[in-house]
Amino acid sequence: MKIKCILLLFIQMAFAYATKSQNINFTQYFNFPLYSDPSQTGNGNYDYRLNALYRQQWKSIDAEFSTFAISGDVRMGNVFSTQDSWGFGIYLLDDHLGSDLMQNQQVGIALAYHINPDFQERHKISFGINIDYKFSSVDYSSLIFESQYQGFLLHPDMSSGESFLNDRIKNLDLGSSISYSFLLNPKTELGASLASFGFIPEQENFISESDSSDYKHSEWLARGFYNYRVSSRVRLESHVQVISQSNASELMLGVIGHYTPFHLKGVMLSLGLFRQMDVAYVAYAGLSYKNYDINVSYDFVSQPLNTLREINGLSRPGGIEVTLSFRGFKVAGSGTRTVPCRFF
C-alpha cells in the first residue's frame, strides 16, 4: 500500500506540474522544430516537409506519458528580394498522462521569414512566430485522495469530499523565435536560436480555487548547433539546448555522427549520445534514405525516478521517442523557354 501511495503522489505531482501550462519538451526537438522554434518553419533545402513524432515515457512505474505529434511546412519563394523566403506550417499534438487521467490537445500554426544578407548566402537570419490553441481535460474519477483511505485500506467508491470548478481548460499561446546560421567554410556550419513563449496569460490550473484567474507563465529556449564534415562520408553534428520555464531550468547537450556508406547511394546512418543534465542519458540512432528519415532515441532516466523504481522493484523508467520525416520538392514544369543568341 505504501508503494501505491508513492506512485499516486508522483502522479499528482506530475499532474500539478502539467496543469501549469508548461510546453511539452522533446528529446529530438531538432527533428520536430515547428512546435518549439517557429523560425525553423520552411528553413531548409526542401519545398515542403512532413514530420511525425511519437514519445512514450515512464511506463514501467505506472505513470505513463504518451505523445503523438505531426507537422507540415512549406518553403515559399522570394518576396522582397532574391535572397529571402517565407515559411508556413501547421502542427498538431495529442498528449496523455496515465490511463487518460489527463489529456492535452494542441493545434498551431507557424510563420517564418528568412533572409540571406550576403550575396554568397553564407549567413542566414530567420524570424518566426507561432500561435496554438490548447485544450486540456482531466478525469477526476481516476484520482485517489487521502479521505478515501480507512487506515491502510482504500475505498475508491467512497466520496473524496473534494470539489472542483471544472474538468477542462482552454488556452491560446503565442511564441516567437529568432535564429542565425553561418557557413564558416565548405566543411563547417554553426548556428544559434532563441525562442520565447507565454505572451498570452493562461488559465492557471484545474484544482486551484483561483482557477478562473490568469496565470502568466513564461518559457525561454536557447539552442546552438555545430556541423563539421570530416570527409565525404563522415559528418559530426553537435547540439546544445537550455530551457527556462517558470521556476525550472534544463540543460541538454550531445553529439551525433553521420556516416554515408560508399556502396549504398542515398543512405546515411546516424548514432549519437546526449546528456540531459541531472535527469537522463539519451542514446540516439537514425537511418536516412534519400528524402526519408527515421530516428529513434531512448532516455535512460537517472534521477529522481530511479529511487521510486528501486523501492517498488520495477524496471528502469525511461522514455522512447521516434520521429519520421519526409522532404519533398516541387515537380519542374514541362514548359520550354527561348535562350537568346549572343550574336543576334
User: For residue 341, is it within any domain?
Assistant: no
Q: Which of 83-97, 107-121, 238-252 has the lowest mean pLDDT?
A: 238-252
Does the pLDDT at position 189 exceed 90? Answer: yes
Residues whose CB is less than 8 angstroms from the CB of residue 176 and which lie 6 or more positions away in sequence, other chains included: 38, 127, 128, 129, 130, 195, 196, 199
User: For residue 169, is it within any domain?
Assistant: yes
User: For residue 17, is it within any domain?
Assistant: yes
Domain count, the chain: 1
Closest CA to 236 of 262, 256, 261, 260: 256
Other beta carbons within 10 angstroms of residue 17's beta carbon come to 12
User: For residue 168, is it within any domain?
Assistant: yes
Confidence (pLDDT) at 238: 97
CATH no. for residue 189? 2.40.160.40
User: For residue 339, is it within any domain?
Assistant: no
Q: Which domain holds residue 136?
A: 2-328
Q: Which of 112-116, 117-121, 324-328 has the lowest mean pLDDT?
A: 117-121
The pTM assigned to this predicted structure is 0.80
Compute the chain's Rg from CA coordinates: 24
4-32: pLDDT as tens digits: 444 444 444 444 444 344 577 899 999 99
User: For residue 338, is it within any domain?
Assistant: no
Confidence (pLDDT) at 3: 40
Asked if omega into 261 is within 30° of 0 (cis), the reply is no
Distance, in Å, from the CA atom of 124 to the CA atom of 117, rounded to the nearest integer, reads 7
Residue type, 45: N
User: For residue 138, is it within any domain?
Assistant: yes
Using CB atoms within 10 Å of the CB of residue 20, give its burial: 0 to 12 exposed, 13 to 18 middle, 19+ buried.
Answer: middle
The band of 281, judged by pLDDT with boundaries at 50, 70 and 90, is very high
User: For residue 343, is it within any domain?
Assistant: no
207-221: pLDDT as tens digits: 554 444 555 567 899
